[in-house]
Amino acid sequence: MTSASPRDIVAAVVRQAGGPFLLEPALLRGPKPDEVVVQLVATGLCHADILARDQHYPAPSVPLVLGHEGAGIVVEKGSAVDHLQVGDHVVLSFAYCGACGACESGGRGYCDHFTELNFGGSDEHGHTAITDPAGNPLHDHFFGQSSFATYAVVNQRYAVSVSKSVPLNILGPLGCGVQTGAGSVLRSLDMAPGSSFAVFGAGAVGLSALLASQLRDPRATIVVDIVPERLELARELGATHVIDGRSANLLEALRDLSGGGVDVALDTTGNSQVIEQGMQALGKRGSIGLVAGVPGGRASFEILPFFLRGCTIRGIIEGDSIAESFIPELLEHYEAGRFPFDKLLSFYPFEGINQAVEDALSGKAIKPVLTIG
């Protein structure tokens, strides 16, 4: 079973749907044989954390500890951990079983057990790793980590060892938002060099996709959003064109700026009308990826022009990332100055978590990162 006595930690606990994150003392059990204990240095805040705080499906129920873009240092390891050492710097990514058909064929985001492993709120036996000081369980294992805490226990499969030459406090978002955007372009849609690229939504995922598209020597990069500050940032990050999504001639502009039709598009909004426009803006053999949506959301499109142009629509989870190879690859690009994802980050102290949520919702912060230890 597990080792030693529980560790004293501080965790950001959600006790009611939509309520604040409350920093509370808590207890964390020791690692099982295939787990490591990670001391969190910083954790990104992702939109899924806010949806789960508000108890939108498929969130674990309250009380719970969220957080799924953790970066930290391995401080203890289970007896069967074979590829991590105490002292390693790690980025934590999403959970997957590793044994189903999807996992074995490289599609971990489509794992048969994705929902229970990432949103189940406990381990496979219904036990949480975190309790309050009186021993009452706090739902955890969010994306296999629950990293809004000073320490987390994580299966070794979800902890990616990274170079110590890059400051650990910027790395957490690579584990979800950044790899989703970058992976969509570089893996799922595998954008061909010289393509035109358009992204809908200039949040962390969309702007990470923009940065990744620039690694493929694009003919044009177009960012669509309705927040002027975000469009301004997109320009600073090298977008060749930015468009206000409310403009009446959006479709025309997309076709013009891309030189007749977009080759690769990514929707990060989940908005039906936006997706429909994106589908119509595609050129011959163009493809559009979808990374967001709401339960019951629908989009419609005219079939004939879509198939006559040979277009593709693709659902994408986590950018089809194989984290242990993709995250180091992105870091190489970062260190070479080709992938400056740190420009998307705004830092907050752990106690400032509720302010970080507010700023994420208002659009003031693209990707808040909580500095924990």
Q: How far is the CB of 18 from Zn ion (least distance, A)?
A: 19
Tell me how far apart the alpha carbons of residues 293 and 191 are, in angstroms, rounded to a whole number: 22
Query: Which residues are bridge partners to 370 per DSSP?
Result: 43, 348
Tell me how far apart the alpha carbons of residues 255 and 253 are, in angstroms, rounded to a whole number: 5
Q: Which is nearer to Zn ion, 47 or 309 (CB)?
A: 47
Q: Which is nearer to Zn ion, 112 or 132 (CB)?
A: 112
Q: What does DSSP assign to residue 203?
A: S
User: Under the rule (CB under 5 A), what is the footprint of Zn ion?
Assistant: 46, 48, 96-97, 100, 103, 111, 176
Q: How far is the CB of 298 from Zn ion (least distance, A)?
A: 23
Q: Are 205 and 180 in contact (CB under 8 A)?
A: yes
Query: Which residues are bridge partners to 25 per DSSP?
Result: 10
Longest dimension (CA), the chain: 64
Tell me how far apart the alpha carbons of residues 297 and 320 are, in angstroms, rounded to a whole number: 22
Q: Which residue has the tokens 């053999």?
A: 285
Query: Which residues are bridge partners to 371 per DSSP?
Result: 42, 349
Q: How far is the CB of 52 from Zn ion (least distance, A)?
A: 10
Tell me how far apart the alpha carbons of residues 149 and 168 are, in angstroms, rounded to a whole number: 16
Q: How far is the CB of 205 from Zn ion (least distance, A)?
A: 8
Over its C-alpha atoms, the chain yields an Rg (Å, rounded) of: 20
Q: Which is nearer to Zn ion, 48 or 327 (CB)?
A: 48
Q: How far is the CB of 59 from Zn ion (least distance, A)?
A: 13
Q: Which is nearer to Zn ion, 262 or 369 (CB)?
A: 369
Q: In what order do the strands lie in the sheet with 64-65?
A: 64-65, 7-14, 21-28, 130-131, 137-138
CA distances from 61 to 14, 70, 72, 119, 159 (A): 9, 21, 26, 9, 25
Q: Which is nearer to Zn ion, 44 or 278 (CB)?
A: 44
Q: From the DSSP assignment, how many helices (H) and strands (E) are in the chain?
A: 11, 18
Q: How far is the CB of 270 from Zn ion (least distance, A)?
A: 14
User: For residue 89, what are its two tokens?
Assistant: 């710097």
Q: Which residue has the tokens 């939109």?
A: 47
Q: Are 257 and 281 in contact (CB under 8 A)?
A: no
Q: Which is nearer to Zn ion, 100 or 253 (CB)?
A: 100
Q: How far is the CB of 285 from Zn ion (least distance, A)?
A: 30
Q: How far is the CB of 348 from Zn ion (least distance, A)?
A: 17
Q: Are 92 and 151 in contact (CB under 8 A)?
A: no
Q: Which is nearer to Zn ion, 143 or 339 (CB)?
A: 143
Q: How far is the CB of 172 from Zn ion (least distance, A)?
A: 10
Q: Which is nearer to Zn ion, 28 or 52 (CB)?
A: 52
Q: Which is nearer to Zn ion, 262 or 327 (CB)?
A: 327
